[in-house]
Amino acid sequence: MNGLEKAIKQSGFRNELIESEFGLFCDKCNNKYDYYKFDNGQVVKDGCDCELIEHHKQQKEAFFKRIERNKIEKIYRYSIIPYDLQEATFENYEPQNESQEKLFNICKRYADNFELKNKQSLLLQGDFGLGKSHLAMASTTRN
C-alpha cells in the first residue's frame, strides 16, 4: 500500500483529496513525509512521526503521574490523617471567632517562617473543633 492509499484509508474513504504534497521534510521529527488534505479538513502526514512521538510522550507522562498518585495514596493509606483533611489549606480555613482567627495567624506565621535549617516546633492545644488539625495539615502542605 502506498502513502496515498494509506492516507485515503485513514480518512475513511468518504472524503475527497483536495491537496497533496510529496517529499516534504518535518524539522520536528526529521522525517520526510507526504502531505494529504481532505475536504473534511483532515490532514494526513504520511511518514511524519510527530503525532506518534507526542502520543508516546503523553502516555509516558500519564504513566509517571499515575505512579506519583499511587505513591501519595499509599502514604495517606498508612497515615493517621483523616481523608477529609487531605485538602486542608490556609485558604480554605474559615475562622469562626477571635480565638480561631488568632490560631490561624499563629499557624500561618509559623508555616511562612519555617526553615529546614532551623526547625522549630509548634504545639497546638485546645478543645475540639477549633481547627487544630486543619491548620496543622495546612502548615505541612505550605510551599
CB atoms within 10 A of CB 48: 20
Q: Provide the 8-state DSSP code for 11.
A: T
What does the DSSP assignment read for 41-60?
S-EEEET--HHHHHHHHHHH
Closest to Zn ion by CB, 42 vs 133, is 42
Closest to Zn ion by CB, 4 vs 26, is 26
Q: Which residue has the cell 509559623?
A: 110
The CB-of-13 to Zn ion minimum distance in angstroms stands at 25
Closest to Zn ion by CB, 28 vs 56, is 28
The CB-of-51 to Zn ion minimum distance in angstroms stands at 8
Q: Which residue has the cell 503525532?
A: 51
Q: Which residue has the cell 499509599?
A: 74
Q: Identify whether the C-beta of residue 100 lies closer than 8 Å to the C-beta of residue 69.
A: no
State the residues that interact with Zn ion by CB under 5 A: 26, 28-29, 48, 50
The CB-of-57 to Zn ion minimum distance in angstroms stands at 13
The CB-of-19 to Zn ion minimum distance in angstroms stands at 18
Spatial CB neighbours of 93, under 8 Å, sequence gap ≥ 6: 104, 131, 134, 135, 138
Closest to Zn ion by CB, 16 vs 51, is 51
